[in-house]
Structure 1
Amino acid sequence: MSGPPPAPIRVLIVDDDALVRAGLTMILSSADDVSVVAEAADGSEVPAAVAAHRPHVVLMDIRMPRVDGLAATETLRARPGAPEVVVLTTFDADEYVLRALRAGASGFLLKDTPPVEILHAVRRVAGGEATLSPTVTRQLIAHVAAPDGNTGRHRARHLLETLSDREREVAVALGQGKTNAEIAGELFMSVATVKAHVSRLLTKLDLNNRVQVALLVHDAGLV
């Protein structure tokens, strides 16, 4: 006898455009495993909405009038037990997107991303994977994440030197945009072992998601 179905993924939508919020709500509500628990029109409303509705994933607009998505992401991801954040943008290489990724967002989506891809992205992020807009794919981080001169490169390399050889292999694979399953196949380990390595990477490097690991690998010039 099978048990009860898993609880749906709880999503908070943050965008100052009511039509965008309505469209995203309609898309996400079409799936049985996703539930839109709240909407917010500005980054200033995010802390209260998260406290009240406990979302697993926040879809966060970048450009909002009072508190933008970057500031809201930085504030949110600095808190323990924070939900995952996916930033929404109309620009595929916007400098604010890169800053949001460094602040702890798990990825981003262009606002014209097809509905099925938006649902897929929410599921991936809720499951601990990163998500980048499919129109940009794995080249995004390499395109926009140039290290800040020699200081940034030296710092990144120093941090990566604290890892074991196996952990460094996993980190480089993350920098290449690979999923847990792809890393498992390439390095001949189970997906559970990959997840354990990723968890240790985050602890050792004092980072809060795999996108930040990928950015660090790019800063070090390893991919």
Structure 2
Amino acid sequence: MRTAELLRAAHVGAGDEVVVPSYATAATAEAVRDVGALPVFADIDPRSLCLDPASVARAVTVRTVAVVAVPLFGHPADLAALQRAAGGTVLVLDPTDGAEEEGEEEEAQEGIARRRANAAYLDARLTGVTPVTAPGILHRYHSYVVRVPGNGRPDRDAFARALRARGVRCRVPVQTPVHRLPSFRRELWLPETERAAGECLALPVGAATSRRELHRLVAACNALGGLLPAVAA
């Protein structure tokens, strides 16, 4: 179910506040605004990149009626912890609503299995970067996100350029946190959101990614070691 439909079904509307992540696309915040409510931004957990329950608890006010728990990059949010943080009167909404998992065709399930296998291959071999995932989670790997060590955005961007020069596809998953976009600008300090925006890079693990491509990716990342001050300059 789309986020706006989920909010309307929950009777969210004018005068209500809905807690959403800023480290994400703007689509969730736009959906909240589309139903007449106010998006309130909370910080993320550094291990999962999903909403941090402690930050959600600080963001909740008497007007808060819902939290949208975006499963970022295929990593599920901790719905139980978010519900405890938000309180018993606040709804915690999962945009996937379980329907995607139950209704997937066999071909889609095979694609997820292949992405997980590709991610496991990278997890076991990468040394130049740090994969971002919480332990014990059944990740769907819509994107394989890593942190590039160093001095934030300059080193991450230099690392990305060096990978591309070696024929490795990569992208910055979130260029600008939503709370800093002109249409949603808030005077907030969300430290983990800012850190992730400066350090994170998405590497290819799609079902069509070959073992040869994965090997080239590992060789390039490990050779670069995560730090490229000379390239950044």
Q: TM-score normalized by structure 2? A: 0.26
Which is bigger in relative contact order (C-alpha 8 A, separation at least 6)? 2
Give the number of the structure whose residues are more often helix, by fraction: 1
Q: TM-score normalized by structure 1? A: 0.27
